[in-house]
Amino acid sequence: MTIEEIRELIHVVCSSGIAELEVQRGENRVWIKRTAGAVVADAPAAPPPPAAVSVIPPIAAPPEGVTVAAPQAAPPAGTPDLTDPTLQPVKSPIVGTFYEAPAPGAEPFVHVGDVIQPGKVLCIIESMKLMNEIEAEISGTIVKRLVENGQPVEYGEVLFLVKPS
């Protein structure tokens, strides 16, 4: 399980009412528990920070785990807030190679900042010469692209973050 996937699971816990989440894949197991929600006083302009969560790998020390602290301030204006728990990841359904465009040198399917609708093709993941068009499942705005053109991607790797509209 990659750091990216763990980060994403934290997002899932933070953006839902779930108190505790355990996920096992093969020999990897991760347990995420929401502790007392961090409340930042006197910061009405800042977005509500996500609750603090603990990530405890089952085998690795330390036993009390790693605490991921909630951000204390809003990011500078103009840059997307990548910790925003409402951001939705677009993940790769297969192991393969990421392509931003239908052909080398062609215009990419999407750019950061684009407004997308369900069914919009975002990229191609090629695996064993099977070209897999990845389509948007929600409407929103592309806030970030996390992979480079031609880069190998893993199963479940986050490709884009989308701010739902």
Partner 1 sequence: MFTSGWIPMRRIEWHDTIDSTMRRAAELAREGCAAGTVVAARTQTAGQGRLGRTWDSRLGGLYFTIVLRPRLEPARVPLATLALGLAVADTLQIFVGLSVDLRWPNDVLIGDRKLAGILAQLQEGALLAGIGLNVNQREFPPELARIATSLRIETGSEQNPDLLLPALAGSVESHLKILETSGAAAILRLFEAASSYAAGRRVRVEMPAGEITGVTAGLTAEGFLRVRRDDGAEVTVTAGGVRPAG
- Please, which of residues 83-122 interact with partner 1 by CB under 8 A? 93-97, 99, 102-104, 106
Say if residues 91 and 137 touch (Cβ distance below 8 Å).
no
Asked if residue 132 binds partner 1 (CB under 8 A), the reply is yes
Asked if residue 131 binds partner 1 (CB under 8 A), the reply is yes
Say if residues 140 and 88 touch (Cβ distance below 8 Å).
yes
Q: In Å, what is the CA distance from 39 to each residue of 35, 36, 48, 115, 140? A: 12, 9, 8, 32, 28
Say if residues 143 and 163 touch (Cβ distance below 8 Å).
yes
- Please, which of residues 138-157 interact with partner 1 by CB under 8 A? 150-152, 155
Asked if residue 128 binds partner 1 (CB under 8 A), the reply is yes
Write down the least CB distance from residue 62 to partner 1, Å. Answer: 33
- Would you mind telling me the total number of residues written for the chain in this entry? 165
Write down the least CB distance from residue 23 to partner 1, Å. Answer: 17
Q: Which residues contribute to the site for partner 1 (CB under 8 A)?
A: 93-97, 99, 102-104, 106, 126-133, 150-152, 155
